[in-house]
Amino acid sequence: MPRLLVAAGAVGLLAIVSLFVGVGDVTPAGLLRAVLADDDGSHQEVLLVLASRVPRTVAILLAGAGMAIAGQIMQLLSRNRFVEPSTAGTVESAAIGILAVTVLAPGAPVMVKMLVATATALAGTALFLRILRHVPLRSVLVVPLVGLMLGGIINAVSTFFAYRLDLLQSLNTWMTGDFSGVLRGRYELLWLTFALVVVAYLVADRFTVAGMGQDFVTNLGMNYRAVLALGLSIVSMVTAVVVVTVGAIPFLGLVVPNVVALIFGDNLRRTAPWVALGGAGFVLVCDLVGRTVRYPYEVPIGVVVGVVGSAAFLFLLLRRDARVA
């Protein structure tokens, strides 16, 4: 437990650093003076922090923790280390849902978009699992391959319509995570992922048991389909919320849980806090890199995580292979 506290402290420290990194000049001392003096000249700084920096940092923490937990749940349910929302067609399905709402009901509130995206994400993930059932003797690696291909096919459909309807740019923003647009009033939906992560933690033991296979679960008197449905709903909703508000963050749900599992094993009740913290910290670091490397411009988080995440994925893949061979 103390180790967990240290880790939480480190992430908290990073979060505080994140409040003071950006184009607008805000220093801790200046902020303190502004709060104490409360004069008009320094009001600007308080506004900046409250309207932009705090929402952004909170959004990063929520999205990071949510996507990492979503990846972990998917890995337990599919019993495969290489599955996560972006290798199962979930992200692409969510994006096609948002595209559909944007085209058919342009004025719909964000909540509607999110719900439709959740529904399509759920449908896409269910389709993924259905295809997998047609692959009898599947090797571990066929599973993510099927997911990646399914995602590619769904994405081709979205691209086709987005291209015809001049929405390619919007599609691009949903597929590439970017926190630079996060402002007060535009990210609050992400708190939903917080609730979902808490739910996931409360039923963590069920997912851990589900990871041991359908027969085992049924033996223990649990309803496997119910656990599966609950898990997939949580995953789809988290994915939909994140894609709607900030855009997809690829491979996050794959890298963080795998690293945590290397250290702490597979008991979700025990690893969930680590996975959530790890996801939040990882996204925070990547976003800080994206914010500073090309100052005063920004590199979107989806790109930074894409580089780091795919490199880490490759490492896991080839390392695992070397060990097996």
Residue 173 binds to another protein (criterion: CB under 8 A)? no
Burial of 181: CB neighbours in 10 Å, binned 0-12, 13-18, 19+: middle
CA pair distance 253, 14, nearest whole angstrom: 20
Between 42 and 159, name the residue whose CB sits nearer to another protein.
Answer: 159
Residue 288 binds to another protein (criterion: CB under 8 A)? no
Residue 304 binds to another protein (criterion: CB under 8 A)? yes
Between 154 and 182, name the residue whose CB sits nearer to another protein.
Answer: 154
Residue 153 binds to another protein (criterion: CB under 8 A)? yes
Residue 23 binds to another protein (criterion: CB under 8 A)? no
Residue 325 binds to another protein (criterion: CB under 8 A)? yes
Binding mask 232-251 for another protein (x = CB under 8 A): ------------------xx
By CB under 8 A, what part of segment 54-83 binds another protein? 82
CA pair distance 153, 81, nearest whole angstrom: 23
Residue 157 binds to another protein (criterion: CB under 8 A)? yes
Q: How far is the CB of 240 from another protein (least distance, A)?
A: 22
Tell me which of 15, 148, 199, 222 binds another protein, using CB under 8 A.
148
Residue 318 binds to another protein (criterion: CB under 8 A)? yes
Tell me which of 146, 182, 243, 286 binds another protein, using CB under 8 A.
146
Residue 115 binds to another protein (criterion: CB under 8 A)? no
Q: State the distance between the two ends of the chain, measured CA to CA, in whole angstroms.
A: 37
Residue 88 binds to another protein (criterion: CB under 8 A)? no
CA pair distance 282, 229, nearest whole angstrom: 28
Tell me if the bond preceding 106 is cis, omega within 30° of 0: no
H or E element: which one contains 322? helix 301-324
CA pair distance 313, 179, nearest whole angstrom: 23
Residue 314 binds to another protein (criterion: CB under 8 A)? yes
Chain CA centroid to CA 168, Å: 22
Inter-residue contact 85 to 253 (CB < 8 Å): yes
Tell me which of 2, 106, 107, 136 binds another protein, using CB under 8 A.
136
**List of long-range contacts for 154-158, beta carbons under 8 Å, 24+ apart:** 154/89, 154/92, 154/93, 154/96, 154/124, 155/92, 155/95, 157/96, 158/92, 158/95, 158/96, 158/99
Inter-residue contact 179 to 121 (CB < 8 Å): no
Tell me which of 100, 141, 203, 212 binds another protein, using CB under 8 A.
141
Q: How many residues bind another protein (CB under 8 A)?
A: 46
Radius of gyration from C-alpha coordinates of the chain: 20
Between 72 and 176, name the residue whose CB sits nearer to another protein.
Answer: 176
Tell me which of 13, 160, 205, 214 binds another protein, using CB under 8 A.
160
Judged by CB under 8 A, which stretch of 38-46, 132-140, 192-200, 278-286 contacts another protein?
132-140
Give the burial string for 4-40 (b: 16+ CB within 10 Å, else e).
eeeeeeebeebbeebbeebeeebeeeebeebeeeeee
Footprint on this chain of another protein (rule: CB under 8 A): 82, 131, 134-142, 144-146, 148-150, 152-153, 156-157, 159-160, 163-164, 250-251, 293-294, 297-300, 303-304, 306-307, 310-311, 313-314, 317-318, 321-322, 325
